[in-house]
Structure 1
Amino acid sequence: MTDVSIVIPMKNEVGNAPDLINALVAECHDVRIEIIAIDDASTDGTDQALRDLQATVPTLRVLQNTKSGGQSAAVHSGVLAAKAAIVCTLDGDGQNPASQVPKLYRPLLADETGLLALVAGQRVDRQDTQSKKLASKLANGLRGWLLNDGTRDTGCGLKGFRRDVFLQMPYFDHMHRYLPALFKRDGWQIELVDVTHRERGSGNSNYSNLNRALVGVYDLIGVAWLIKRRKKAYPKELD
């Protein structure tokens, strides 16, 4: 039986994959985990590095896209494949420390109300370039004003959630950036936790500030539309 599935999207992270996955095994020792790494059509040997790791990490499963589908597609595929009712996600670039993952699953496993469905990380002391931090601050401010999702850092890859609730949501590219708004839309409780952040270990970011800005405006309009068109009534079966 698996308590927690940890889903990691990876694209060209051959230099970060071994340390990150071994750290997850060490840090998440209090629960039975599986690690699902999704290789998003990497060209640097990430797929072989993950296969090699399976020899020493028996809980590691590897999925591979034949063509790149992006982070949200990789996360969605990983959640579909997950065996546990609780799923945690983190970025594959090593900037999300493995030590922070227990902060995500422990509140969900301890919840007795059945209402808590998402625990979202919020980065403190971000180790990014000033231009990246400024672009993120502006985007988060606009998003928070329009969606009223209650979080200052929805772009953080560290998130834990109930698998069944996540899979009920409509899929769209970049949805991973809007999970607090989408969970709140459907009436679920969310919890925000501060998490640490560190510099990328190796490789280069797969996103540019311009790319984030262009897709962000389009996505914001779409998510705002989804919130306004949410289902507003749920029946109870009468005895």
Structure 2
Amino acid sequence: MDKPEFTVLLPVLNEETAIEKLVREIFEKMSDDLDLRVVAINDGSDDRTPELLDQLAQEFEGLSIVHHPVRCGKSAALRTGANVARTIWVGTMDGDGQDDPADLLAMCREIDLTTVQETGLVGGVRRARTDGDSRKYASRFANGLRKSLLKDDCPDTACGLKVLPRRLFLSFPFFDALHRYLPAFTKHFGFETRYVTVENRPRDGGESKYTNFGRAVAGLFDLTGVIWLMRRTKTPGRAFVADQIMSENRS
């Protein structure tokens, strides 16, 4: 039986200590079960990350590299990767090594990668976060506020591991923090969401790209904007969107 096609979108910024090990781990843990592609998006790195990615692309046939000349942010990087990908479903994961590719593979098994039906997103829920108590508390507060206002029922929207149809992602209104609201927009477009418990490993070097204060301030503005966008974005329903995704894939 042919293996289902799947693309991993891997946004990367200054991850020279982690990226080679992670790319090798993705292909090692996922390629036996999937017809696998990886699109790594270098989002304006100024360390050795671009050089390492280009070297890895010479070794792995399924690896494509896109270089942003300047930093555009994680959501923009994911959108670039989704435009490059050609599979029905794509998965997202962070480039710092905290996400385990084995968990992404387990999430793929929750759905049929050859079609789009009721489920529009499979998200990861981290079992035990490794980035400190202050970030855990900040994330818990942000999750509670977002869930109460958007009714997205997502227990861990900041987890980098998500699986969703490529064309559905590209149908969402685009803004800088879209990656944090994928569950909310999935439900707004009429699809179901489901969640899988995943591991959260220590960072494999490098530094976090966000601070608690900066995330909180931006998050309040983003949340207000998302509420407005949802009120102004009308969708024809899940069945129509799913049919469009499948017809575009067949063409």
* Interval containing the TM-score (normalised by the shorter chain): over 0.9
- State the partner residue of 1:215: 218
Counterparts in 2 of 1:105-124, with a 5 A limit?
A: 105-109=108-112, 114-124=117-127
Q: Aligned AA for 1:220?
A: L
> Residues 76-104 of structure 1, C-alpha deviation per residue, up to 9 Å, x if partnerless?
10011002111000000111111111122
- What is the root-mean-square deviation in Å for CA atoms of aligned residues? 1.8
Counterparts in 2 of 1:129-140, with a 5 A limit?
A: 129-140=132-143
* CA distance in 2: counterparts of 1:220 and 1:101, whole angstroms: 27
Counterparts in 2 of 1:64-75, with a 5 A limit?
A: 64-75=67-78
> Residues 50-74 of structure 1, C-alpha deviation per residue, up to 9 Å, x if partnerless?
1111232111110000010000000
CA contact (8 A) 1:11 1:46 kept: yes
Give the unaligned 5+ runs of structure 2. Answer: 241-251
- State the partner residue of 2:86: 83
Quick one: structure 1 residues 18 and 233, their matched pair in 2 at CA, closer, same or farther if it must change by over 3 Å?
A: closer
Q: 1:55 aligns with which of 39, 55, 58?
A: 58
- State the partner residue of 1:31: 34
* CA distance in 1: counterparts of 2:159 and 2:137, whole angstroms: 15
Q: Aligned AA for 2:77?
A: A
Secondary structure in 2 matching 1:55: helix
Secondary structure in 2 matching 1:42: coil
Secondary structure in 2 matching 1:141: helix
Secondary structure in 1 matching 2:117: coil
**Aligned-residue offset at 1:26:** 1.1
Q: Aligned AA for 1:128?
A: D
Q: Aligned AA for 2:13?
A: K
Quick one: structure 1 residues 144 and 102, their matched pair in 2 at CA, closer, same or farther if it must change by over 3 Å?
A: same
Q: Aligned AA for 1:207?
A: Y
- State the partner residue of 1:12: 14
CA contact (8 A) 1:2 1:83 kept: no
TM-score when normalising by structure 2: 0.89
Give the unaligned 5+ runs of structure 1. Answer: none
Do structure 1's residue 171 and structure 2's residue 182 form an aligned pair?
Answer: no
- State the partner residue of 2:247: none
Count of paired positions? 236
* CA distance in 2: counterparts of 1:74 and 1:113, whole angstroms: 24
Do structure 1's residue 191 and structure 2's residue 185 form an aligned pair?
Answer: no
